[in-house]
Amino acid sequence: MKLTDFKILTFDCYGTLIDWESGLSAALQPLLTKAHGATSREQALEIFARHEFAQQNETPSMPYSQLLSRVYKRVATEWNVPVSNEEANIFGASVPDWPAFPDSVAALAYLKQYYPLVILSNVDRISFRASNDRLKVAFDAIYTAQDIESYKPNPQNFAYMLQRVKNDFGLEKSAVLHVAQSLLHDHVPANRCGLASAWIDRRHANEGWGATKPPGEAPKYDFRFDSMAALVQAHQKELSG
């Protein structure tokens, strides 16, 4: 199997193209300060992951910015820290401030020459709009949790994406490569629906799972890269070989 076998690339965004752990850490800092810094960055991300996953299951149709506000309050309650609605809403509105990974813009610009590029993301459209500006590419389609009214890893999200790819691009599942960091949110459901995937292992230098819950199983993937830049290099090597 080669990267050049595929006709379209679908992407997770946050954790894959946008450095959401840096963004989350910065947005959680006021809460950490109130908690007197008793929790490390990695511990805070793990606590966030647990509450985010639970909230997504409880309110699957809630837009992500509102869901983040709920999560902020859940984390504050666990830490016994009082927070206002305003503070929670500021956290919920923080997605536009999350930075892109340094290699994302150049990688997407390169890949755009060879593939239609599609987003399948657990966010709302308004939050994604600012992230799209940071990524500086015109995606050919954007499918969000807000559109689907469920959050990955719900298989409904992947069924929706594959149907839309078939309808909008005339391409079957065998033509699609899903590119993502999260084993839980992306590679596990990709396995279950028979979709080829490339793991962008952004946390290869870190222990633990960060802002994502453990996958609970060891999914397979067809490619593994430490970065988007490494994926581009592999594609270039295939073309030159």
Catalytic residues: 12
3-class state of residue 100 by DSSP: strand
Q: How far is CA 234 from CA 24, 101, 203, 227, 240, in A?
A: 30, 19, 19, 11, 10
Q: Are 199 and 25 in contact (CB under 8 A)?
A: no
Q: Are 118 and 9 in contact (CB under 8 A)?
A: yes
Residues 6+ apart with CB under 8 A from 225: 198, 199, 200, 201, 231, 234
